[in-house]
């Protein structure tokens, strides 16, 4: 029976290789080196592995002498020490690469020696070939090559440590640039050619029949992860002398033009049909070296670096973009004879890689999703505009997160959506409670994964004249608490996660009243104006982060909130909640900075062009001609016939002497 000891088992290669080892009938135990901080992750992986009872976690660290593991604590000497632990990242700095790749390998070798291991399997990389120009066989190692990045240099140094020791028999595996699974497309991070997929996706806007021409970009070598893992699992158990080395690479290097063309076609765009007889690969390497030099950066260099970073291409990638090496895989192919394993052609599995990237890894995927793939949080969702908005969003397939104070009514909306086949979850919360909002955001993000869009709808309205409010400061405070500070707090809590996914849209349901400055609503309109202006400013600041804002300025809507003052406005046109909700959904769909009614836009324009006339007309028509509805303020403005009120007030204003000077 076989005992394996594995470093890097939770990584992309490692977790797949451990699965293969556990599937072997002769596997007795897989001891996995794990740090305390990664133990929970290992436990989750173990649940999905076959024969989880064979997995034993061993606390330690690549950075510790002998991995920080006492071999005496193991039940037996490992038959195989599989060293996968390393940094596989071209963007990591020199110190990080040195610590993980070189020091980590030295510590793993020391452990294997002290544990009297049977065989040390070192996972190196074709990066050890550096900038060697020409054929590089499995028997080649130090040919005087130079190294474009710290990753390349430290992978060479790590393999040299393995080759120079003779305490433990060893084998070396050199994967090329590892991409996703050739069958499922699964990949765990953006790396290598994946950095260029956003640019290639944009080519999909061109007609697929359009022939493209490109200069010579150079070549590289990519290999799917399933081939690397399957080949390793086979070669590990095959008879071979110590020092046997295997190139787990494509037998034929792929030109970057070919990779770009195949990925563009997978995205629905045109292929590269012609080559411009200009080789720019050398210029790209030269530019990369200049951008990554340690000299003091100048504005032009900073600008180029910034532009590449915004596009999503790390400047550290450019020096290593083109690999002029031809990797000979003859020995590996011979060793795999009879296994049925061979590296598939890139063109055969590239569409699978692209589809997985577009669905799971594209940094802009949230922006490109349709409403039926979005999660939308709606406040005040238990009734009125919020409830109607939630129902309309659910009809469009959105996952609706319902928030309001009244749990029973909120659950009723949730159940109605689910009964109709929609997706919804309810979260009762008092939005004026700081701690409750913080807990709400944590729970929603943990359970829903993300919030793509937020509708700040919950609000409170107070209709009372200023003269009756001079001793009622609490009216303004409680209105600001719910109408401004609550949505502000919720927005600020969700903006970081929206910016992290490079997309988010926040709709603030405000009011047409801030365009007409309706009298008696000073507390309500001031709070809504504050929210409106916050969205306008934040939308300009966060535009490059992908987070945008809309203000939906609704007129009078027939809801419970407007009911107390409805009698004073019964002659004015009003909206049903469903009509107002349609405006909110339009804002979510089109993401315009403001959604106004025709009357609101006209009133705002008139107020800008004729401010004094607007002030007078509003005072007469909206304040003097309309009755009070708040019982405690009726004595300040006793009920008069509207015509009497307007004529009397107009006469008073006209007769009043104008101030001099």
- Whether 279 is in a domain gets the answer no
Structural tokens at position 334? 């011979």
> Is 356 contained in some domain?
no
The answer to whether residue 524 is catalytic is yes
Q: Is residue 632 part of a domain?
A: yes
- 572 sits in the region (left: phi over 0; alpha: psi -120 to 50; else beta) called beta
User: Residues 499, 625: one domain?
Assistant: no
Residue 280 CB neighbours (<10 A): 16
Asked if residue 374 lies in contact with residue 453, where contact means CB atoms within 8 angstroms, the answer is: yes
What are the helix and strand counts (H, E) for the chain? 24, 22
The CA R_g of the chain, rounded to the nearest whole Å, is 34
Residue 557: phi and psi, rounded to 5, are -120, 135
What pLDDT is recorded for position 649?
Answer: 47
Domain count, the chain: 3
If asked whether residues 155 and 12 sit together in one domain, one would say yes
Catalytic-labelled residue, pool 194, 195, 246, 524: 524
Longest CA span, the chain? 111
Statement to judge: residues 623 and 598 lie in one domain: no
CA angle 545, 549, 551 (to 5 degrees): 170
Q: Say what the pLDDT of residue 294 is.
A: 64
CATH of the domain at 378: 3.40.50.720
Q: Has residue 44 been placed in a domain?
A: yes
Name the strand (E) or helix (H) holding 454. Answer: strand 453-456
Q: Are residues 562 and 597 in the same domain?
A: yes
The predicted structure's pLDDT at residue 337: 94
Same domain, 512 and 627: no
Phi, psi (degrees; rounded to nearest 5) at 531: -65, -40
pLDDT (0 to 100) of residue 256: 83
Q: What is the residue range of 12's domain?
A: 1-175
122, 155, 175: which is the final residue of a domain? 175
Q: What is the mean pLDDT of each run of 10 residues along the chain (661 residues)?
A: 94 94 95 91 90 94 94 94 87 85 95 96 94 93 90 94 96 95 91 82 84 82 95 96 96 87 88 79 63 63 66 68 86 94 94 90 77 91 90 94 92 95 94 92 93 89 63 76 89 94 92 71 76 91 90 76 52 75 91 77 61 55 52 56 53 58 54
Beta bridge partners of 175: 248
Q: Are residues 540 and 635 in the same domain?
A: no
Residues 7 and 22 in one domain: yes
Q: How far is CA 222 from the centre of its chain?
A: 26
Within this chain, do residues 574 and 440 fall inside the same structural domain, yes or no?
Answer: yes
> How far, in Å, CA of 242 to CA of 155, rounded?
20
Phi, psi of 255 (to 5 degrees): -70, 145
Q: Per the domain annotation, does 331 fall within a domain?
A: no
- Say if 583 falls within a structural domain: yes
């Amino acid at each position: 029976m076989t005992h394996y000891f594995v470093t890097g088992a939770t990584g992309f290669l490692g977790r797949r290789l451990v699965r293969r080892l556990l599937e072997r009938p002769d596997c007795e135990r897989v001891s996995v080196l794990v740090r305390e901080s990664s133990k929970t992750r290992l436990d989750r992986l173990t649940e999905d592995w076959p024969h989880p009872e064979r997995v034993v976690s061993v606390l330690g660290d690549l950075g510790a002498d002998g991995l920080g593991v006492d071999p005496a604590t193991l039940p037996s000497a490992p038959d195989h020490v599989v060293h996968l632990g390393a940094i596989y990242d071209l963007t990591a700095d020199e110190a990080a690469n040195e610590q993980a790749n070189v020091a980590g390998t030295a510590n793993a070798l020391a452990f294997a020696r002290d544990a009297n291991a049977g065989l040390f399997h070192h996972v190196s990389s074709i990066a050890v070939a550096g900038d060697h120009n020409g054929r590089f066989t499995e028997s080649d190692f130090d040919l005087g090559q130079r190294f474009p990045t710290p990753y390349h240099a430290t992978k060479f140094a790590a393999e040299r440590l393995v080759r120079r020791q003779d305490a433990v028999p060893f084998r070396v595996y050199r994967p090329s640039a590892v991409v996703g699974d050739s069958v499922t497309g699964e990949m765990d991070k953006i790396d290598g050619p994946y950095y260029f997929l956003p640019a290639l996706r944009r080519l999909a806007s061109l007609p697929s029949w359009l022939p493209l021409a490109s200069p010579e970009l150079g070549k590289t070598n990519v290999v799917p992860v399933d081939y690397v893992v399957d080949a390793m699992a086979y070669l590990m158990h095959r008879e071979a002398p110590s020092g046997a080395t295997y190139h787990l690479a494509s037998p034929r290097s792929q030109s970057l033009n070919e990779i770009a063309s195949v990925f563009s076609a997978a995205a629905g765009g045109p292929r590269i049909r012609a080559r411009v007889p200009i080789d720019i690969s050398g210029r790209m390497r030269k530019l990369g070296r200049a951008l990554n030099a340690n000299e003091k950066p100048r504005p032009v260099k900073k600008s180029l670096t910034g532009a590449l970073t915004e596009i999503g291409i790390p400047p550290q990638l450019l020096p290593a973009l083109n690999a002029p090496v031809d990797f000979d895989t003859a020995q590996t192919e011979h060793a795999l004879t009879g296994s049925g394993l061979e590296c598939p052609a890139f063109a055969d599995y590239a569409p699978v890689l692209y589809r997985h990237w577009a669905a799971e890894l594209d940094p802009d995927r949230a922006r490109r999703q349709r409403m039926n793939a979005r999660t939308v949080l709606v406040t005040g969702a238990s009734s009125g505009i919020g409830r109607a908005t939630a129902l309309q969003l659910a009809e469009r397939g959105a996952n609706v997160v319902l928030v309001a104070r009244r749990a029973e009514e909120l659950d009723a909306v949730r159940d109605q959506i689910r009964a109709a086949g929609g997706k919804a979850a309810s979260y009762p919360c008092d939005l004026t409670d700081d701690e409750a909002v913080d807990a709400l955001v944590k729970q929603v993000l943990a359970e829903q994964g993300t919030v793509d869009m937020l509708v700040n709808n919950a609000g409170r309205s107070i209709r009372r004249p200023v003269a009756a409010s001079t001793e009622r400061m609490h009216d303004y405070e409680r209105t600001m608490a719910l109408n401004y500070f609550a949505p502000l707090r919720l927005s600020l809590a969700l903006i970081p996660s929206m910016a992290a996914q490079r997309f988010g849209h926040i709709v603030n349901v405000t009011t047409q009243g801030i365009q007409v400055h309706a009298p008696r609503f000073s507390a309500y309109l001031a709070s809504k104006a504050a929210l409106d202006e916050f969205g306008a400013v934040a939308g300009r600041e966060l535009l490059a982060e992908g987070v945008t804002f809309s203000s939906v300025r609704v007129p009078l809507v027939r809801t419970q909130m407007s009911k107390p003052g409805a009698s004073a406005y019964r002659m004015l046109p009003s909206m049903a909640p469903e009509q107002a909700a349609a405006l909110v959904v339009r804002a979510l769909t089109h993401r315009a900075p403001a959604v106004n009614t025709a009357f609101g836009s006209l009133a705002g324009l008139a107020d800008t062009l004729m401010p004094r006339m607007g002030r007078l007309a509003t005072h007469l028509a909206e304040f003097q001609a309309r009755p009070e509805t708040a019982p405690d303020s009726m004595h300040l403005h006793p009920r008069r016939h509207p015509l009497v009120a307007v004529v009397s007030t107009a006469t008073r204003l006209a007769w009043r002497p104008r101030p001099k000077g």
